[in-house]
């Protein structure tokens, strides 16, 4: 009798041990699966951030070289671009602005005019992915130098605030806000100007754009708000490009 009870107890212990082992294995598998899922999400997020940074650097390079068609292709169909020249709505409108206002030619004429330089660095990126990984925000600082051989040359700086959207697995620009920081002549930099002569020409007003904006753009401060302390004033001179041609004066 005692032997029979001992056998039953042993059998119960074996079953309990097997059940416990199965539970532990299941928990281990669940933990491992969760860990792998988390690692996969981190890899995807890192790849997305890298792709967004590459997108913005492409934008800067294409501006450098006057590759207006390539820049337009970086935008979504319903994109909105807030440039100093005004607000352009939709891919087609942005494309015309790039060709006709920034490039100074006709739609389809890629490249910078002869003897023109248009260096446009996009630096200091801060990129945040939104929940779901289909949209993102970015902030960049633009540092530009542009001019014409034998003519004028200008330093310019500003801030891009961007919204990006993943379309068919490819990141594109949905919204661009450029805030002019300063623009100053190459020869003097951001220095106080010489006293104006009595017969000096009045300040230049907004330009007569080849392709007008869909709506005017107004800002309380012509430069990025953080770049406008009380001791400095920034005057927007109707810039028609991705970099401001505003003046910097104390």
Domains within the chain, CATH numbers bracketed:
43-191+205-249 (3.10.450.50)
Closest by Cα among 39, 45, 42 to 136: 45
Distance of CA 169 to the CA centre of its chain: 18
Residues of the chain with pLDDT under 50: 9, 13-14, 224-250
CB contact at 8 A, 193 and 249 = yes
Q: How many helices (H) and strands (E) does the chain have?
A: 3, 8
The predicted structure's pLDDT at residue 208: 85
Q: Provide Rg for the chain, Cα atoms.
A: 29
CB contact at 8 A, 84 and 216 = no
Predicted model pTM: 0.74
The predicted structure's pLDDT at residue 137: 98
> Rounded distance, CA 203 to CA 222, Å?
16
Handedness of CA 126, 130, 133, 137 (dihedral sign): negative
In the chain, DSSP assigns E strands to 75-83, 86-89, 116-129, 135-148, 153-167, 170-185, 233-235, 247-249
The predicted structure's pLDDT at residue 120: 94
The predicted structure's pLDDT at residue 40: 87
């Amino acid at each position: 009798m005692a032997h029979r009870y001992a056998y039953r107890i042993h059998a119960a212990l074996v079953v309990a041990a097997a059940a416990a082992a199965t539970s532990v294995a299941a928990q281990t598998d669940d933990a491992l699966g969760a860990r792998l899922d988390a690692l996969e999400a981190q890899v995807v997020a890192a790849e997305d951030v890298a792709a967004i940074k590459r997108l913005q650097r492409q934008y800067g390079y294409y501006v450098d070289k006057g590759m207006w068609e390539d820049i337009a292709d970086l935008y979504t169909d319903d994109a909105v671009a807030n440039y100093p020249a005004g607000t352009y709505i939709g891919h087609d409108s942005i494309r015309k602005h790039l060709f006709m206002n920034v490039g100074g030619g006709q739609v389809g004429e890629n490249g910078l005019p002869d003897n023109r330089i248009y260096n446009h660095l996009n630096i200091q990126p801060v990129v945040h992915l939104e929940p779901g990984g289909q949209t993102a925000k970015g902030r960049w600082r633009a540092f530009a130098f542009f001019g014409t051989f034998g003519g004028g040359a200008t330093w310019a700086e500003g801030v891009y605030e961007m919204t990006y959207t993943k379309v068919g697995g490819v990141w594109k620009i949905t919204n661009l806000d450029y805030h002019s920081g300063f623009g100053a002549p190459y020869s003097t930099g951001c220095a106080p100007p010489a006293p104006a002569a009595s017969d000096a020409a009045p300040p230049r007003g907004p330009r007569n754009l080849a392709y007008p904006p869909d709506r005017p753009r107004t800002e309380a401060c012509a430069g990025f708000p953080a770049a406008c302390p009380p001791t400095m004033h920034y005057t927007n001179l109707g810039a028609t490009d991705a970099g401001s041609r505003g003046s910097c004066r104390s």
